[in-house]
């Protein structure tokens, strides 16, 4: 793996033997401002896999923050381990000290495996931990506005494809009903959509169905992608849109909350070849980072929610640009994000990885 050739400004390896901390902090770009991105706590198979994830996620954060109109660069951190067994106060505080040592170049927040309460602990060691609990002056659960942003992107995709900004009368398949996916289901049901879900955690499915008994559930993702539906919403981990999935999808639209959904660089063309409109993941899932960024200014949910509604307009602009330029929405979104980064500062020559 060519870390030095990845286009990143800084990659920091963090080790604290006393607490068992093993982490990587990747800062892709600070062209627009400090690099904001969450901390993922995950049992990676290898150190190389952890580094690769940190590099890909931090790059995507730079594009996400740029396209969302935020004065922020892109960064990401990963902690290697099982959050169910390895997460301790000592480990989180050790991690906070590493974040503090970067002097504000990197701002951390929640991601897979980390929660508001964890960031409260991290914040005991650093000024640069955001997405804290409301009791400590934070913005609370950022998955609320992440889901709202995905819903706005989905409405825009419906407008572009079917001429009306609603999912009423449509069937939406949601893969993953954790923090983001469950909130998205709430929005979809309220909008009049029929919803079918799956998740590796049966309890997550049970929680959704306890609120919405009419929501259908299937055993796994392989079954879900072959279930008749109009919109596919990947809301779990990355790489969801592999060749087999794209070939099997009955959907006309793909729009979900997961990061790095595209399995490789050719995936956008495969989607387009099947007539599937793709709403770029880092465009539509920016609601969470908008919510976290607002915390830096004295959090106002109403202000952050209003900012998140602009994802609808940005998505329409991306779809229109893609049509006008004869490219996929993924390429159009990259170009718009790069245009803003280039206009104010350094833009790495390494393009967003797929």
Active site amino acids: 76
For 318-332, give one letter per residue: b (16+ CB within 10 A) or e: bbebbeeeebbbbbb
Inter-residue contact 146 to 288 (CB < 8 Å):
yes
């495996």: which residue's tokens?
A: 113
Report the distance separating Cα 354 and Cα 56, nearest Å.
Answer: 8
Report the distance separating Cα 48 and Cα 25, nearest Å.
Answer: 13
CA 72, 78, 84, 89 torsion-angle sign: negative
Cα–Cα nearest to 285, from 208, 181, 199, 197? 181
Angle between helices 310-325 and 301-308 (to 10 degrees): 20
Cα–Cα nearest to 37, from 46, 23, 27? 27
Residues in Cβ contact with 123 at an 8 Å cutoff, skipping those fewer than 6 apart: 96, 129, 132, 136
The tokens for 62 are 């730079």
């Amino acid at each position: 793996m060519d870390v030095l050739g990845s286009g990143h400004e800084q990659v920091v390896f963090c080790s604290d033997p006393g607490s068992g901390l093993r982490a990587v902090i990747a800062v892709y770009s600070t062209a627009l401002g400090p690099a904001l991105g969450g901390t993922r706590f995950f049992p990676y198979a290898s150190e190389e896999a952890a580094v690769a994830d940190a590099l890909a996620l931090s790059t995507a954060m730079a594009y996400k923050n740029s396209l969302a109109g935020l004065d922020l660069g892109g960064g990401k951190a990963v902690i290697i381990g099982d959050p169910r067994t390895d997460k301790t106060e000592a480990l989180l505080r050790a991690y906070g000290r590493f974040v503090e040592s970067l002097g504000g170049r990197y701002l951390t927040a929640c991601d897979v495996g980390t929660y508001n309460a964890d960031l409260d602990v991290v914040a005991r060691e650093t000024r640069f931990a955001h997405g804290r609990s409301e009791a400590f002056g934070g913005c609370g659960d950022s998955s609320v506005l992440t889901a709202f942003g995905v819903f706005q992107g989905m409405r825009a995709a419906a407008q572009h494809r079917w001429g009306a900004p609603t999912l009423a009368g449509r069937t939406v398949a949601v893969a993953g009903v954790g923090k983001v996916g469950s909130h998205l289901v709430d929005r979809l049901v309220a909008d009049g959509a029929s919803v079918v879900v799956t998740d590796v955690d049966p309890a997550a499915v049970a929680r959704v169905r306890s609120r919405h008994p009419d929501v259908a559930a299937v055993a796994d993702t392989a079954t879900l992608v072959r279930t008749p539906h109009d919109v596919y919403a990947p809301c779990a981990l990355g790489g969801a849109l592999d060749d087999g999935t794209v070939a099997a999808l009955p959907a006309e639209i793909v729009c979900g909350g997961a990061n790095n959904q595209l399995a490789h660089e050719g995936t956008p063309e495969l989607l387009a070849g099947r007539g599937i409109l793709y709403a770029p993941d880092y465009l539509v899932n920016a609601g969470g980072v908008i919510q976290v960024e607002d915390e830096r200014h004295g959090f106002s949910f109403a202000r952050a929610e209003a900012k998140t509604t602009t994802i609808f307009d940005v998505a329409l602009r991306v779809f229109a640009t893609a049509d006008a330029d004869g490219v996929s929405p993924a390429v159009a979104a990259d170009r718009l994000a790069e245009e803003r980064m280039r206009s104010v500062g350094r833009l790495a020559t390494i393009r967003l990885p797929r």
